[in-house]
Amino acid sequence: MHPKQPYKPINCDFYDELEAFATQQKTVLVEFETPQGNMRKCEVRIVNLETRNKEEFVTLDNGLEIRLDFIHSVDGALMPDYC
């Protein structure tokens, strides 16, 4: 789990892109920050998007779960500013 920082809602259009990747089951390159503050990249499929306790998460086919505001890019598209 990521360090407890207030959740920052992500850009709505970017969320829609994540949903599209999940629906298409397309393999994408996801770059994100780890709980230790390191950057990591992995090629995965997005399995699920869900909201818990007013925070949004993505589940990947490799078992990782990432809070959406820790994602930096997906398939080379940088996370735009927040909603």
Indicate which CATH number applies to the domain containing 68.
2.30.30
Look up the domain containing 27 and give its range. Answer: 12-78
Q: Which residue has the higher pLDDT, 55 or 80?
A: 55
Residue 24 forms part of a structural domain? yes
Residue 28 — very low, low, confident or very high, per pLDDT cuts 50/70/90?
Answer: very high
Instruction: Report whether pLDDT(38) > 90.
Output: yes
Residue 53 forms part of a structural domain? yes
Spatial contact of 57 and 49, defined as CB atoms under 8 Å apart: yes
Residue 40 forms part of a structural domain? yes
Spatial contact of 55 and 10, defined as CB atoms under 8 Å apart: no
Number of domains within the chain: 1
Q: What is the pTM of this model?
A: 0.86
Residue type, 39: M
